A = this chain, B = another copy of it.
C-alpha cells in the first residue's frame, strides 16, 4: 500500500469547450489509484457501457463508477422530470461519497453541464461539495462551469479548443473520444 497523500480536500474544476476534461479527470483517477487512494467517478448525463473509460474501469478493480443519465441526448431547456430525478440521485450518491468514509477522491463528471442545463441548480451542487469531509478531493468536469463553481474551486483549468478534428469532419472515435 502506498502512503496516503497529504493536502487533499481541494476542489478542482475542468471546463471549456476543448477536448480533455473528462479525460483529465480519468487520468487523475488513474494517478490517485496508483497511489492507493480510493476513487469514485460519478457521471451525470451519461449511461451505458459504450465508453472506453467504463470498459477500462471494469477491467481494473479499485475505481468505482456510477452513472446517472438516460440514453438520450438532452437539449438545453428541454430536460424531463426523469433527468431531474437522475441528477438528484447522482448528487445523493456524491453526498455519501464525500463523507470521507469510503473515498479520497470524488469525480463529478459533467456536473457543470447538468447545472448549466438547469437540471439542478448550482446551489444544490455547491451544498453537496461543501458538505465534504476534510481531506476529500472533489473534481468537477464539463463545459460551462457556472461562476459559483469557479469561485469555490481551488484549481480551475479551462480547456481551450485550438483545433479539433470534428471541424475537419472526423467523427468521435472509440477509444479516443469515448
The residues of A with any CB-CB pair to B shorter than 8 Å are 2-8, 10, 12-14, 16, 18-37, 51-60, 104-105, 137, 150, 153-165, 168, 170-171, 173-176, 178
Contact = CB atoms under 8 A, between A and B. Distances in A.
Identify which of A14, A34, A36, A178 gathers the most chain B CB atoms within 10 Å of its CB. A34
A31 B18 contact: no
B31 A20 contact: no
A173 B26 contact: no
B27 A53 contact: yes
B173 A7 contact: yes
20 contacts: A5-B175, A8-B173, A8-B175, A8-B176, A19-B155, A23-B23, A23-B24, A23-B28, A23-B31, A27-B30, A30-B52, A30-B53, A34-B51, A34-B53, A34-B57, A34-B58, A35-B174, A37-B175, A153-B163, A155-B163
A10 B170 contact: yes
Contacts of A163: 150, 153-156
A59 B34 contact: yes
A110 to B, nearest CB: 14
A150 B2 CA distance: 38
Contacts of A14: 20
A175 to B, nearest CB: 3
Contacts of A24: 19-20, 23-24, 27
Nearest to A59: B34
Given A30-B56, A159-B160, 7 more contacts: A20-B24, A27-B53, A33-B56, A35-B175, A154-B163, A155-B165, A157-B162
